[in-house]
Amino acid sequence: MSWQPCVGLEVHVQLSTDSKMFCACPAEFGGEPNTRCCPVCLGLPGSLPVPNQEAIEHVLRTGLALNCQVAERCRFARKNYLYPDLAKNYQISQYDEPLTQDGYIDLDVNGQPVHIRIRRAHLEEDTGKNIHLLDGCSVVDYNRSGVPLMEVVTEPDFTSADEVRVYLTELRRILRYIGVSDADMEKGQMRCEPTVNLRNLQTDEATPKTEIKNLNSIRSVYEAVRYEIARQLRALETDEPLVQETRRWDETARQTVSMRRKETADDYMYFPDPDLVPLEPSSDWVADIRASIAELPTARRRRFVEEYGLPEYDASVLTEEKAVADYFEAVAAASGDPKAASNWVMTEVLRYLNEEGVTVDRFPLSPECVAELIALTADGTLSATIAREVFARACRDGRSPRQIVEQDGLAQISDTSELAKLVDEAIAANPKAVEDFRAGKEKALGAIVGHIMRTTKGQANPQLVNDLLRQKLSAS
């Protein structure tokens, strides 16, 4: 019998808006407990919610990027349950009328195309945070209460942990590209709850679903899903019973552990929130948002391969972050040499960003500067080694490459008469190496070239030095 894993994902995304979902309080993470609250997000008697248009726009933008249908009319609904971190004891969410639904995303998983259906992307508000003190007391911080949250739900279309990992990486990339969230799982800006079960392809029989919680990185989602699929397959083989339950990922033990059984569905008594009027995104608004969505990462990656002739790997590195891709394209345009631009950005620029821990918008060199370096290398003014040195100096003191070359005298020595003098000196200074070379030891030439490079601090044109040296040694 063949059992296929079925995994569905519910992803919660904190939207990057200035203010909360239904009030003017700052949505920013942190702050002294209960200092970023007002009557609305504290759910005080008589307070009323007013929806944040920016958050609505973020969800519409996400829905469109995920090929979803945008509702002509939709509502907020109340999800009723009692919990201390929930200020009103109901969460304003969306139920049977989400903002966007019925989309899809096409992924490339280890070279194989995978099509995942998106059930919906909707809008809701976050809860506060219960804090359990050591003395047994519990307190609540409502700073997070009312922060806009988007929920992106897929159909149970994933059949492996690999597909889940690629989806989350791609979703994160898209969310950053379209500017709706930083989507950092480690910071809780993106939270993921997979649902896992197995389906028999012959009989359509299915095992009970388990939901996995406490996943704080894409890596832990990947591991937890892989573990859970294996656990369920093993249980089937050994005839162990499987139950519908919520399981927690234990990061240290690297396994899922049963949290609670779910024998009946929770009854959240959803109903349309009477405090909020129906949302009717106008077709003009939706068209504007659609038009404002920049090229998405997958499309851009493909274009980089086709337009610039870059290898697949380089294209994917360069498109990982929108700002880096933008920077690369600016360098390519300014230099007219996309391959060189790609080399410079992938090696020197990304290394600098990594080492300094900054994003590309804080990178000190303009794309034009890097283009200048490319030009100086191409016309022979700079050797590759010296070019890297010029790059470092430019990053340090903000001078342009041309200035550095002139002021610091770093231009490559390509003048043959000058080089001939240097070669003669080197031959005179290395009689042993000369003898060895003449005796057929090809390697000995390196020592003589090295001597010249040392005395010129790398400025001698190595190609010319090589040619001259061979000429002289064979002539005499």
Partner 1 sequence: MEICELTAHELAGRLQAREVSAEEATQACLDRIAETDAELGAYLTVTADLALEQARAVDSRRRAGEALPAVAGVPVAIKDVLCTRGVRTTCASRILENFVPPYDAAAVERCNEAGLPMIGKTNMDEFAMGSSTENSAFKVTRNPRAIDRVPGGSSGGSAAAVAGNEAFWALGSDTGGSIRQPASLCGLVGIKPTYGRVSRYGLIAYASSLDQVGPLTKDVRDAALLLGVIAGHDGRDSTSADLPVPDYVAELEKGVQGLKAGVPAQLLGQGIDPAVRDCVLAAVDRLVALGLEVEETQMPHIDYSLPVYYILAPAEAASNLARYDGVRYGHRTAKPVSDIYDMFAKTRSEGFGPEVRLRIMLGTYALSAGYYDAYYLKALRVRTLIKRNFDEAWQKYDVLLSPTSPTVAFKVGEKADDPLQMKLADICTIPINLAGIPAASVPCGEVDGLPVGLQIMGRPFQEDVILRVAYACEQTMSG
Smallest distance from the beta carbon of 106 to partner 1, in angstroms? Answer: 36
HSE of 337, CA atoms in CB hemisphere, 13 A = 17
Closer CB to partner 1, 85 or 108, in the complex: 85
Smallest distance from the beta carbon of 43 to partner 1, in angstroms? Answer: 5
Residue 55 C-alpha from the chain's centroid? 21
CA 278 to each of CA 19, 272, 274: distance values in angstroms, whole numbers, following the listed order? 21, 9, 9
Closer CB to partner 1, 140 or 413, in the complex: 140
Closer CB to partner 1, 41 or 171, in the complex: 41
Smallest distance from the beta carbon of 99 to partner 1, in angstroms? Answer: 16
Give 30's contacts (C-beta < 8 A, 6+ positions apart).
143
Smallest distance from the beta carbon of 207 to partner 1, in angstroms? Answer: 24
What is the 8-class DSSP label of residue 277?
Answer: P
Closer CB to partner 1, 140 or 445, in the complex: 140
Closer CB to partner 1, 26 or 51, in the complex: 51
* Residues near partner 1 (CB under 8 A): 39, 42-51, 78, 80, 82-84, 87-90, 138, 140, 265, 267, 269, 271, 274-277
Tokens of 307: 């337009």
**Do residues 13 and 170 lie in contact, with contact meaning Cβ atoms separated by under 8 Å?**
no
Would you call 420 exposed, middle or buried from its count of C-beta atoms within 10 A (0-12, 13-18, 19+)? middle
Closer CB to partner 1, 90 or 304, in the complex: 90
Strand order across the 77-80 sheet: 90-93, 77-80, 271-272
Name the CA dihedral angle for 434, 438, 444, 450, rounded to a multiple of 10 degrees. Answer: 40
Smallest distance from the beta carbon of 136 to partner 1, in angstroms? Answer: 12
Smallest distance from the beta carbon of 278 to partner 1, in angstroms? Answer: 10
Residue 223 C-alpha from the chain's centroid? 19
SS3 141: strand
Smallest distance from the beta carbon of 86 to partner 1, in angstroms? Answer: 9
- For every residue of 88-114, DSSP letters joined together read TSEEEE--SS-SEEEEEEEEEETTEEE
Closer CB to partner 1, 53 or 112, in the complex: 53
Tokens 């008469």 belong to residue: 417
**115 beta partners:** 106
